[in-house]
A and B are shown apart, each in its own frame.
Chain A
Amino acid sequence: MKSTINITTEWDIVTAREIGRNEAKKIGFDTVNQARIATVISELARNIYLYASVGTITIETVEQDGKVGLAITAADQGPGIEDVRAVMQDGFSTSGSIGAGLPGVKRLMDDIEIQSQLKEGTTVRVKKWL
């Protein structure tokens, strides 16, 4: 299964959450992990909406070494992140807001990969195993 949601308005974030949660449920994640996955989708989609205006969220089931999991990819062609290491530090986003931010996303998932190039865009791919 793989679905891609275009993020252009705030309500698209809701759609992405819903699709992600249903998929997580289907694979067998419990309520708490469904909530975590929805939170992660929310954070990534909000970053697209806020900083890049438009982009996509792709949700897919993944398998590896007999494990099953869910992968979420957020991609945009926005301004990019200047210093990825800095934004991954605890306390970085706390200064301006009370969101979970990217450090929170990392904490809620098992794996995170961030590719970002200034003026070209950002791709964040996260996975959570069952």
Chain B
Amino acid sequence: MKELKIQYKKILVDYIENQSERNLYIGQNFIRQLIQKNITPEEVIHMHKQVMEEIFPELPVVSRHGYDFLIEIMVYFGLTLKEHQMLLEQQEEMRIEMNVATKIQSVLLKTTVPQIDEIDIGMLSIPIRKMNGDYVHFLNDEENYVGVAVTDVVGKGVPAALCMSMVKYGLDTLEYAENNPSYVLEVLNRIIEKSVDDSMFVSMFYGRLDLARSIFTYGSAGHEPAIYYNAADNAFYGLGAKGLLLGIMPEMKYEQTEIPLYEGDFIIMMTDGVTEFRHDDKIDSRKIIEQLALTYSHLSAQEMCEKLYEELQKLQEQGLDDDFTVVIFKK
């Protein structure tokens, strides 16, 4: 502090003599050093007062009182500054933790898209923030069935991510791909209803394809309806259901519906982040998605997913503002 005071005195004396811009510039650079050394505002004013008294021994007493008053009231500024610095450090710590958590989440929720002859499957899931609030889970442990769960946690960030881990755990316990969609939804509903905070809800679309018979069976718990293209009719249909979101009512029943898939048919399952690129009109957005899908239907399911993302991003009014997840089953 003594050393700093000597430097400060020199800078101040120079300024008082010349009052040049250069002196002011040097003064500001000096203050930056003081900030780095954690010198508080009240200490700076105190130093200034002492230096002034040294340069002008005749300094009027009112001026001294003025400095004392300023020192007193600046104590609060000093504290606020310290608190601010601490909070910044804490924020940095949290940022680092968050990065680790994000990595853990992506490993934990990693899912591999089944590669099978009977059906072409594509998947794309892009989180809007670090943590993804959407999750796709495939079940394909045997030859006969492939199951897919497309989920969206209502809520974002860390709580959503934690909730998602539970959804994954629930799906893992089901083990077999041949389970009925209505059964899967009922089991998950019970798990989530029991264990998660009342403000956490999950929407899920669950589909199961019988590979030998080429029958797609699906159920939905408050999820964005899937888009089904029937090549023979050259028409699109919505695949939705009336089921409530998972986690609201303990003994919910979920219905399931079967549709046959023929050559050229495809099903687009997605989260509402896909359809919400137009804030005003959802019906319109689904029409646009249908048109895009048709345009790119000659591509593979994976390429179709990527094209959809690319094109919808362009149409976005203010940039996508929700997690974006799309899964395509293409016969």
Contacts and interface: CB of A to CB of B under 8 A. Distances in A.
Interface stretch (A45-53, A55-63, A72-80, A103-111): A103-111
A32 interface: yes
A16 to B, nearest CB: 15
Contacts of B49: 31
B90 A100 contact: no
Interface in A33-51: 35-36, 38-39
A30 B49 CA distance: 12
A1 interface: no
Contact of B90 (A36, A38, A90): A90
Contact of A90 (B42, B72, B75, B87): B87
Interface in A67-100: 90-91, 94, 98-100
Interface size class, chain B: 10 to 19
B80 A103 contact: no
B167 to A, nearest CB: 32
Contact of B46 (A32, A90, A99): A32
Chain A residues touching B, majority SS: helix
Contacts of B68: 31
A100 B83 CA distance: 9
B76 A100 contact: yes
Interface residues of A, number: 17
Nearest to B85: A90
14 contacts: A31-B46, A31-B68, A35-B42, A35-B75, A39-B72, A39-B79, A90-B87, A91-B90, A98-B76, A99-B76, A100-B75, A104-B79, A108-B75, A108-B79
Contacts of A107: 79, 82
A90 B86 contact: yes
Closest 3 CB pairs of A and B: A104-B79, A100-B79, A90-B86
Highest count of chain A CB atoms <10 Å: which of B49, B83, B90 = B83
Given A32-B71, A35-B71, A35-B72, A98 B87 contact: no
B276 interface: no
Contacts of A38: 72
A99 B46 CA distance: 22
A32 B74 CA distance: 10
Interface in A15-36: 30-32, 35-36
Highest count of chain A CB atoms <10 Å: which of B68, B75, B80, B86 = B75
Interface string B81-102: 0110011001000000000000
Nearest to A107: B82
Interface string B147-173: 000000000000000000000000000
Interface in A96-130: 98-100, 103-104, 107-108
Contacts of B71: 31-32, 35
A34 to B, nearest CB: 9
A32 B86 contact: no
A91 B75 contact: no
Contact of B76 (A31, A39, A94): A39
Interface string B41-84: 01100100100000000000000000010011001100110110
Contacts of B83: 90-91, 94, 103-104
